[in-house]
Amino acid sequence: MTEEGHTPVLAEEIMTILSPRPGGLQIDGTLGGGGHTERILEASNPDGRVLGLDADPAAIARVRARLTRFGDRLVLRQANFRELADVAPPAGFGAVDGLLLDLGLSSFQLADAGRGFGFRTAGPLDMRFDPTRGVPASELLATLDADELAALFRRYGEEPHAMRIARSIVRERAVAPIATADRLAAVVASTVPATRGPHRIHPATRVFQALRIAVNDELGALEAVLAAAMDLLRPGGRLVVLSYHSLEDRIVKRFVAAERKGCVCPREVPICVCGRVPRLRAVGPQPLMPTELEVSANPRARSARLRAAERLAA
C-alpha cells in the first residue's frame, strides 16, 4: 500500500512491534506521507490516538488533508522531533504506548524541486526540513572554506574523497555560485568516479547526505528525542527507530545498549553505589532489515535498519 507514491518501509514489522490497541496513545515523530500513522490509527480503532510531528509544513498540510476521516484521533503539530518533550505533554501525550521515528526522506521531499533534496532538481539548494529555520545548504557551500567543507563531508557523509570535492566546490563557486542541486551534483560527479556494482549510488550521495544532516542538525535532534523518549514511554511502551545510514544507526544502537545496562560501578567497588537500573530491553533482531522481496519492490528500503526497544518499569 502506498500513500500517493510514497511507500512506508517495514510497515508490517513496525505494526507488529508497536501493536497499536484501542484507547492507546502513539507518537509518529516523523510524519512524512502519513503511511505509518494511518496504519496505527486503523489498528487502534475506535479510540486510539496518534500525535504526528513533522518539521516540514508541507507534510503536516498533506497528512491533515488526507487523513481527515480520523477526526480528533489524529493530533498534528509542526515541530522537529527534538522538541518532543515540550510538544507531547501539552497535546495529551505525556505517557505513551509507542514512539516511531522513520529517519528517511519522504518521496515528496525528494520530488519537490524547490527543496534541493534530489540530485536532478534545478531549484534552490535549500535542504531545510523547516524552510523558516536555519540556513540553506547553498549558504554553507558559499561560505565555508575547503578545510571546513571537507570536514563536514567526512563527519556527516563519511565521504572518502572529501578534500577533492571540497576543493572543486571552492574552485567552481569562484566562477558561479553553486545554488542548485543539479549543479552541485554535476560538480561532484565531475570530481570523483562513479561507484560500480549492483548497488551503484550517485557520486554525490554522501555529499548531499552530509549537507542535509548539517543543515538540520539531524544527529543532535536524534540524540535529543531518544533522551525524551525515556520520560514519555510508559512501562511496556515501545520505541521503534528506522535509520538509513551508519551515523544514525550507531547513535540508536549505542543508546539502546546503554539503557539496557544496570550497574556501571567499577569492578573494584564491592557494592553498587550508582543505583543505575536497566530502562530498556531490546525487541526483536538488532537490527531488523527489509527482506529481498521488499527491497525489490521498494529499492529505497535497501539501506533501512530498524531497532526497537521496550520501556521497563522504573
So what's the pLDDT on residue 200? Answer: 72
Please give the average per-residue pLDDT across 210-219, as a whole number: 96
pLDDT at 5 exceeding the cut of 60 = no
The residue that leads in pLDDT, 189 or 193, is 189
| Cross-strand partners of 281 | 310
Query: pLDDT band at residue 270, thresholds of 50, 70 and 90?
Result: confident
Q: What percent of the chain has pLDDT over 70?
A: 96
Q: How far apart are alpha carbons 20 and 39 in whole angstroms?
A: 9
- H-helix or E-strand spanning residue 62: helix 57-66
DSSP string, 249-282: HHHHHHHHHHHH------TT-SS--S-----EEE
pLDDT in tens, 77-124: 999 999 999 999 999 999 999 999 999 888 888 888 888 888 877 889
Please give the average per-residue pLDDT across 176-180, as a whole number: 95
So what's the pLDDT on residue 198? Answer: 59
So what's the pLDDT on residue 69? Answer: 97
So what's the pLDDT on residue 81? Answer: 96
What residues contact 282, with CB distance under 8 A and at least 6 apart?
256, 260, 307, 308, 309
Domains of the chain listed by start with CATH number: 11-106+218-311 (3.40.50.150), 109-216 (1.10.150.170)
| Residue 132, CA atoms < 13 Å, CB-side half-sphere | 7
Distance (Å) of CA 258 to CA 262, 276, 281, 304, 306: 9, 11, 10, 22, 17
What the block records as the C-alpha cell of 215 is: 543543515
What the block records as the C-alpha cell of 161 is: 574523497
So what's the pLDDT on residue 202? Answer: 87
Q: What percent of the chain has pLDDT over 90?
A: 78
Q: How far apart are alpha carbons 22 and 38 in whole angstroms?
A: 14
pLDDT at 272 exceeding the cut of 90 = no
pLDDT in tens, 226-238: 999 999 999 999 9
Nearest in space to 14 (alpha carbons), one of 32, 33, 39: 39
So what's the pLDDT on residue 274? Answer: 83
pLDDT at 1 exceeding the cut of 50 = no
Please give the average per-residue pLDDT across 246-267, as a whole number: 92
